[in-house]
């Protein structure tokens, strides 16, 4: 038998065909395998393939033969990840707000390569989660990586911290001055990444949304501060901070808010919300929410700068909830 142009890579191509073209539900006959190899510049016959399969098994690949009628097919059995595990990872990537859409698609494509071609098709699904708003900061991955680097090398960092304005633009806080802190913890809370850092000027632990951090720099000549403050924290409880889930009747709620609260609503509901000016210092907007006690509590926490204007039953529910809470303190 003559050798193909890629004959020396035969075992690599065999592993490739088993990884990509076979699974528990999709096997290939010897003829199909030989034809696939030939298309890739590798010649093979029945006798040599039997020997090659044994070598792959010795190497650790779970090559399984199955009889179906007159045909005997071969496929890869056990893999590094089970299909259910890959689906779980894909769902998590799609659901994570702190991962931008573009990066989500790139990660899912990589996960698909850990399954067969047919199994990969079942991973190309959309997880429908009401109100899901992905972060709009495409550099969040780089920021997270640099923050971990700073934590591991025990150095301080500085950055510009941003907020949303009424034009839906991220603009610097603190008049554009640098924030210099000692990074200690990365916390995933309410589906967003936060940096917990020691702020030396006030001697306190502060939190920063990672997707609001811009122009991050590592200060390699300045070691971190605040070790004693961090040592006093109950890390598991500290890291489990979360925002309450919204459960209740879904409806459109119109609100009138002060301009300094705009960023809070963009962060929660995304940039697609319509902001209608209402006087010099306020705007109106409508959001679709689950009207629950948690939602009403969230609105209350924002203070007098936020007012529910409609529908009437939601406004009345807020009044009753406020009266109920007030009654506790009488």
Q: Residue 209 half-sphere exposure, CB side, CA atoms within 13 Å?
A: 20
Report how far residue 319's alpha carbon sits from residue 257's, in angstroms, rounded to the nearest whole number: 17
- In percent, the amount of the chain with pLDDT more than 90 equals 60
Q: Which pLDDT belongs to residue 293? A: 85
Q: Does the domain formed by 248-327 have CATH 3.30.70?
A: yes
The residue extents of the domains of the chain are: 5-76, 81-122, 137-232, 248-327
The architecture that CATH gives domain 137-232 is Roll (2.30)
Specify the pLDDT at position 30.
95
Q: Mean pLDDT for the chain?
A: 88
pLDDT of 1 above 90: no
Buried b (16+ CB within 10 A) or exposed e, 227-251: eeebeeeeeeeebeeeeeebeeeee
- The answer, yes or no, to whether residue 189 has pLDDT greater than 80, is no
Taking only the tens place, the pLDDT of each residue in 209-255 is: 898 999 999 999 999 999 998 888 776 655 543 333 344 677 899 99
Q: Which fold has domain 5-76?
A: Arc Repressor Mutant, subunit A (1.10.10)
Q: What is the model's pLDDT at position 258?
A: 96
Q: Residue 197 above 70 pLDDT? A: yes
* Terminal-residue alpha carbon distance, the chain: 95
Q: What is the pLDDT of residue 142?
A: 86
The string of pLDDT tens digits covering residues 59-85 is 999 999 998 777 899 999 999 999 989
Task: Tell me the mean pLDDT in the region 187-191.
Answer: 73
Taking residues 273-292, report their average pLDDT. 91
Domains 137-232 and 248-327 share a fold: no
Reported as a single tens digit per residue, the pLDDT across 132-171 is 566 666 678 789 889 999 999 999 999 999 999 999 898 9
What's the rounded Cα separation, in Å, for the pair 283 and 261? 10
Percent of the residues in the chain that have a pLDDT greater than 70, as a whole number: 90
Q: Quick one: pLDDT band at residue 11, thresholds 50, 70, 90?
A: very high
Torsion of CA 183, 153, 239, 295, to 10 degrees: 50
> Whole-angstrom Cα distance, residue 122 to residue 101?
19
CA 265 centroid distance within chain = 20
Report residue 9 as tokens.
Answer: 């890579």
Q: Would the pLDDT of 178 be above 50?
A: yes
CA distance 48 to 41: 16
């Amino acid at each position: 038998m003559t050798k193909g142009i890629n004959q020396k890579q035969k075992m690599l191509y065999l592993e490739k065909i088993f990884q990509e073209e076979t699974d528990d539900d999709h096997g290939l006959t010897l003829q199909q395998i030989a034809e696939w190899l030939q298309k890739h510049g590798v010649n093979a016959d029945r006798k040599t393939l039997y020997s090659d399969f044994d070598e792959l098994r010795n190497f650790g690949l779970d090559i399984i033969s199955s009889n179906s009628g007159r045909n005997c097919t071969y496929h890869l059995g056990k893999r590094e990840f089970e299909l259910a595990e890959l689906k779980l990872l894909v769902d998590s990537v799609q659901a994570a707000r702190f991962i931008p859409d573009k990066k989500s698609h790139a990660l899912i494509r990589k996960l698909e390569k850990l399954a067969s071609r047919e199994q990969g098709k079942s991973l190309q699904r959309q997880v429908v989660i009401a109100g899901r708003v992905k972060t709009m900061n495409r550099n969040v991955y780089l920021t997270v990586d640099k923050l971990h680097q700073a934590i591991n090398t025990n150095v301080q960092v500085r950055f510009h911290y941003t907020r949303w304005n009424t034009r839906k633009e991220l603009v610097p806080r603190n008049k554009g001055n640098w924030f210099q802190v000692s990074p200690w913890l990365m916390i995933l809370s309410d589906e967003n990444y936060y940096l917990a850092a020691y702020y030396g000027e006030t001697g306190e632990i502060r939190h920063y949304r990672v997707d609001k951090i811009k122009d991050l720099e590592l200060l390699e000549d300045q070691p971190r501060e605040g070790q004693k403050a961090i040592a006093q924290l109950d890390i598991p409880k500290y890291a489990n901070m979360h925002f309450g889930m919204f459960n209740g009747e879904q409806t459109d709620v119109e609100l009138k808010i002060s301009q300094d609260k705009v960023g809070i609503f963009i962060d929660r509901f995304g940039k697609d919300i319509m902001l209608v000016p209402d006087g010099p210092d306020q705007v109106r907007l409508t959001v679709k929410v689950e009207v629950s006690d948690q939602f009403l509590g969230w609105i209350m926490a924002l203070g007098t700068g936020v007012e529910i204007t409609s529908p009437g039953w939601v406004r009345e529910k807020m009044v009753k909830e406020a009266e109920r809470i007030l009654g506790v303190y009488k």
